[in-house]
Structure 1
Amino acid sequence: MLDKKIEQRINIKFLVKLKKTATETVYLLREAYGEDALSKSRVFEWHKRFSEGRENVEDDERSGRPVTMKTDENVERVRTLLRTDRRLGLRKIAEKLHMSKETVRQILTSDLYMQKVCASVTDK
């Protein structure tokens, strides 16, 4: 199944070929997709791109920092650090490895299958 964004871009491209205006395209997409329709500004942006001759409906490659730091190498770094001291908290791990807390949390839960275990000591 196509991603809804890609599907709508294909439809925008089709409507451009039918010589529909950007405003008509917004109206038709909202009629077809309702709440899931692309925003007016996105429709105008893609309408312009297709009007100028663009054929590809996929996003352009972006330069810069990768979307995530959750790489196999970083998973191994977290695993190694935890082997040295299992009492380290999420914040300390993130500080020591220069990673975001969210990335460390994702690695701990989804890659290392760890969960928070809280042991409380009660005096009787």
Structure 2
Amino acid sequence: MDKEEFRVFIKYCFLKGKNTVEEKAWLDAESPDIAPVKSTIKEWYAKFRHGEMSTEDGERSGGPKEVVTDKNMKKLDKIILNDRKVKLNEIADTLKIPTERVHRIIHKYLGM
């Protein structure tokens, strides 16, 4: 059973008037190895109480998770070849990514 199906079960129990404790007990009885944790059930109950009845993940803002791309590696190559004393902040500004992500790219770039 995937996350979407569990959310549908959570919504079903919410609409039937069950509380989170009853919901958790029911899900544990049905599929004890893969049932969601109680905090997840509480989170979805709160969303349903506030009128968000969709069981799908919402859109998230921000850039992609993966910043170590060929495009960024090529840009980094050019930046470092033009000025080997360039600072991390300058690289981050040029690539438009956080400084901590620049560390990851450099580690991959250096083969660490």
Cα distance in 2, alignment partners of residues 11 and 50 from structure 1? 13
The answer as to whether partners of 1:93 and 1:104 remain within 8 angstroms in 2 is no
TM-score scaled by structure 2? 0.57
The answer as to whether partners of 1:22 and 1:44 remain within 8 angstroms in 2 is yes
The answer as to whether partners of 1:78 and 1:93 remain within 8 angstroms in 2 is no
2:38 to 12, 31, 40: 40
Cα distance in 2, alignment partners of residues 93 and 37 from structure 1? 47
Identity fraction in percent: 24
The answer as to whether partners of 1:70 and 1:107 remain within 8 angstroms in 2 is yes
2:56 to 49, 55, 58: 58
The answer as to whether partners of 1:94 and 1:100 remain within 8 angstroms in 2 is yes
Change over 3 Å in CA distance of 1:61–1:82 after alignment to 2: same
Task: Please tell me the root mean square deviation across aligned C-alpha atoms, in Å.
Answer: 3.8
* CA deviation string 1:51-103 (max 9, x = no partner): 5543311233455x54658286x704313124346x77xxx6634413424x2
Aligned residues between the structures: 104
Bigger Rg over Cα: 1
- Aligned positions of 1:62-73 closer than 5 A: 62=60, 66=63, 68=65, 70=67
SS at match of 1:60: coil
Structure 2 gaps, min length 5: 93-97
Structure 1 gaps, min length 5: 117-124
